[in-house]
Amino acid sequence: MTDMLRAPAEVKYADELDWLESIDDGPKPFSWRLSPKMVRLFVLGSERADGLDREVSQKWFGDRSFVERSIVTLASDRGLLLIGDPGTGKSWLAELLAAAISRNSTLVVQGTAGTTEDHIKYSWNVSMVIAKGQSRASMIPSPIMTAMERGVIGRFEELTRSTSDVQDALISILSEKYVSIPELDDDNIVFAQPGFSIIATANSRDRGVNDLSSALKRRFNFVRIPVVTNKRSEAEIVRFRTTELLRRHQIELDVPPNLLDILLQSFADLRTAAASATSDDEKLESALSTAEQIGVLEDAILHSTFFGDRTLRAQTLAGSLVGSLARRTPEDLAILNKYWHGVVEPRSKQDGGDWPAFLEGGREAIATLS
């Protein structure tokens, strides 16, 4: 296999998926590669009670009921909409589900203000149209149309970022399960094959950008993914992603548990401060998501590897946190400075350990950026 910067889930976990498929004797809806129970097991990992000959790693950390409801929805004729704050793992869950069900998670449309109806239906190869005219051969199917033809899962990221015209076109696909091609006289309808469905994601913070119509909402089952607030669960997610990072970069570096605790506590403190803020100016622009914690730790690890002594230290972690979260100047720096003086400084005196070094590293980073 050619090296990839980021392999899709069906490639990354191909061996595991092959093994699950070989032992799966459960009923499979439509053209699914795995039964619903095995899809759940692939996403959430195996337990001793499952009695399997090998361990299946946990890949998504969240409530079991969210995964089960998502799987049940995809086994019906309704679309699945995963909605929640940024960084809650919606896209990763969508990718895992598509990989387990269809062994293809790459049929994706990215919703933006520039997304057009062509992106979810079809477009044309202009040179072929000029040479031979419009035909199925000169048509370029969208990822969604390809998913329809193959009877697999298509994905639509950031649905609320797309315009109402695009959303209206999606209503037709979800309702009628076919796409008409009026430019052709023959073979001018593409019907969805059994197994086709759409997993869409939407950020709850995007409310008001392009609100979903009631008609489109009726075509989806909503699964709301909450922000992870349980420290133990969040620590598991950060460890899982960090282990992947170290393996990908072939880095041998230990993440001290006490520094992971400091990172988790800092984000918890900043979330509490954001919740009690009375205006947006008193909140960091960052969503303070688990994904951003992983980004802070990744930055600190790479900095320690390339410019340090290959040891993760509190000063480096503090500098990465400040550098990652200070997006607005001077507003975010003022908020972080207040946190460092009002929370980190007293905690460093009271708890000791790595907190004094974390305090010093944060102060230096804030002074540098001010």
> What single-letter amino acid sits at 218?
R
Strand arrangement of the beta sheet that strand 220-225 belongs to:
108-110, 153-157, 197-203, 79-84, 220-225
Paired tokens of 145: 């149309």
Q: pLDDT tens track of the chain, all 370 residues?
A: 457 778 899 999 999 999 999 999 999 999 999 999 999 999 999 988 888 889 998 999 888 899 999 999 999 978 999 998 877 889 999 999 999 999 999 999 999 888 999 999 999 999 999 998 999 999 999 999 999 999 999 999 999 888 888 888 899 899 999 999 999 988 899 999 999 999 999 987 655 456 788 888 889 999 998 877 777 888 888 888 888 777 777 787 778 889 999 999 999 999 989 888 888 778 888 888 888 888 899 899 999 988 988 889 999 999 999 999 998 878 899 999 999 999 999 999 999 899 999 999 999 999 999 8
DSSP string, 29-67: -TT-SS-HHHHHHHHH---GGG--SS-------S-HHHH
Quote the radius of gyration of the chain (alpha carbons, Å).
24
The SS3 assignment for 142 reads coil
pLDDT number for residue 206 = 59
Paired tokens of 61: 């950390």
Cβ neighbours of 117 (radius 10 Å): 17
Measured CA to CA, the distance from residue 360 to residue 357 in angstroms comes to 5
pLDDT number for residue 209 = 57
